[in-house]
A and B are shown apart, each in its own frame.
Chain A
């Protein structure tokens, strides 16, 4: 069996434990080091939560997975991040293609000032898809996937800016999954939502992990326990502890983790 065949057969099996891997990863904003020697394996079709106090580096690491940090001037890194065994920094991996296969949902929902329909198909349109049937199908699939279809199916061509805050965030999730990404990154997706909208997004995360590998940054520890399978605790740019969520919250291995989850600092 060739290596490629081995790789593709491995991706067929759900639950590949090293779907996304981080090796000896350091990251710098100019001279300031933000991440120190991170090593972790993120499993396929599971929800992995990143927790830790503000400025601990969890968002920085998340934004390295789709190379969003490169938009900031003066950043550099060492070490490697691999998606399905292939380095995301590999010259052959175009950053455009990478971002199409790794979707992202932001802290503040950011629908474009376009119709609901045009928001969803934006990613497909810029990758050259023109067939209306394909676009229509993607809109329905993505909106159903984001549990928004029934609420908006009669007003697909109205402005996305007329939706409620929670609907906008689910629209952004729909927009991200319309590209059929392999990984879905979520950067505090519920921090601007009310409790009811938060519950809806958390239920959605549960549904989405059937199909996608999810990494979620959260400040809310209840959220991490409710919706993640594995949890990574970061502190001052270091990965302090990474284990099954249940273990982290019931029996943390590190004193710092215990202090943080019991609310003694942060």
Chain B
């Protein structure tokens, strides 16, 4: 009975679904592009006075003195890039190791499930909580390590004293934990997506488990691991609250990891509320630089991903 009635529906009515869906897709994608363009337009217009006044010198100058209306963000660019790369240095090996353990059967499946859940839950912790945890837990530990390092490794520029609690190293360690779920989850997906046939092929040629992992499985999963790292890097660069709470927000440049530093995101968060006049324009200029850097990182990531994928096309 119901089938008869649906059969007798006019053809035109059936087409409404796909057409509407088509239109919705267009609107949604246009909206996404338009939002990005709008944000950049807003930032550029508000930054314009500062751009006119300081030009590219803004990127290379190290003085940020609001009272005298002198602004330059070089230390904050360095701090953004350095803290993110140091965080990746910690998070990449750890995250990849966890991903390997989670994708292989070294541990019983229920244990793996628990570890996976816990690591992914790290992503659910609010940034400000990470910041508080950093203040109460990481800073005291870094302080102890810092005093030891200054005494014993003080000759190395990155460990020169005095050691502060609020430092580049503290911020990087907490950042590393914050991006660990990104590295782990995406790498794990890439590893488990390696076809079973490749694994078997390696074993059938007499490979041990580690030979199979290092020689065949990891290289095959490399595009995904690269993507994981770059996405994590992007996240670390834009991370604001925890970093602003831990890095010390200093505009003084230092080689030492134990000295305070600053990031672009931290600068914006700290100063925007009380800024006026040219300082607002300068902060918007800093925001523009941050957007350009993160866009660049993500585009680079896409390109690397596409290149590595084209190298492994045809095996999936």
Q: Does B202 contact A (CB under 8 A)?
A: yes
B201 and chain A: residue at smallest CB distance: A110
A97 and chain B: residue at smallest CB distance: B206
| Contact count band on A | 20 to 34
Count, chain B residues at interface, CB 8 A: 23
Contact between A68 and B203 (Cβ–Cβ < 8 Å)?
yes
A151 CA / B91 CA spacing, docked (Å): 45
A176 CA / B312 CA spacing, docked (Å): 21
Q: Does A100 contact B (CB under 8 A)?
A: yes
Q: Which A160-185 residues have a C-beta within 8 angstroms of B?
A: 161-162, 172, 175-176, 179
Q: Does A135 contact B (CB under 8 A)?
A: no
Q: Does A196 contact B (CB under 8 A)?
A: no
Contact between B206 and A112 (Cβ–Cβ < 8 Å)?
no
Q: Does B313 contact A (CB under 8 A)?
A: yes
Q: Which of A122-130, A197-205, A210-218 is found at the contact surface with chain B?
A: A122-130
Contact between B201 and A126 (Cβ–Cβ < 8 Å)?
no
Q: Does B238 contact A (CB under 8 A)?
A: no
Q: Which residues of B contact A66 (CB under 8 A)?
A: 204
Q: Which B18-59 residues have a C-beta within 8 angstroms of A?
A: none
Selected contact of B203 from candidates A99, A112, A175, CB within 8 Å: A99
Selected contact of A106 from candidates B197, B211, B219, B312, CB within 8 Å: B197
Closest 10 CB pairs of A and B: A100-B206, A110-B197, A104-B204, A123-B205, A110-B201, A113-B312, A161-B314, A99-B206, A126-B211, A96-B206
Q: Which residues of A contact B311 (CB under 8 A)?
A: 113, 159, 161
Q: Which residues of B contact A6 (CB under 8 A)?
A: none
Contact between A112 and B202 (Cβ–Cβ < 8 Å)?
yes
State how many angstroms separate the Cβ of B111 from the closest Cβ of chain A. 14
Q: Does B276 contact A (CB under 8 A)?
A: no
Q: Does B213 contact A (CB under 8 A)?
A: no
Contact between A113 and B315 (Cβ–Cβ < 8 Å)?
yes
Contact between A161 and B203 (Cβ–Cβ < 8 Å)?
no
A162 CA / B310 CA spacing, docked (Å): 11
Say yes or no: A110-B206 contact (C-beta < 8 A), given A73-B105, A126-B211, A159-B311.
no
Q: Does A71 contact B (CB under 8 A)?
A: yes
Could you list 10 further interchain pairs (A-B, Cβ under 8 angstroms) beyond the known A96-B207, A126-B208?
Answer: A96-B208, A104-B204, A106-B197, A106-B201, A110-B198, A112-B219, A113-B312, A122-B202, A122-B216, A179-B206
A71 CA / B216 CA spacing, docked (Å): 17
Say yes or no: A111-B315 contact (C-beta < 8 A), given A73-B105, A126-B211.
yes
Q: Which B201-240 residues have a C-beta within 8 angstroms of A?
A: 201-208, 211, 215-216, 219-220
B134-149 interface code vs A (CB 8 A; 1 in, 0 out) = 0000000000000000
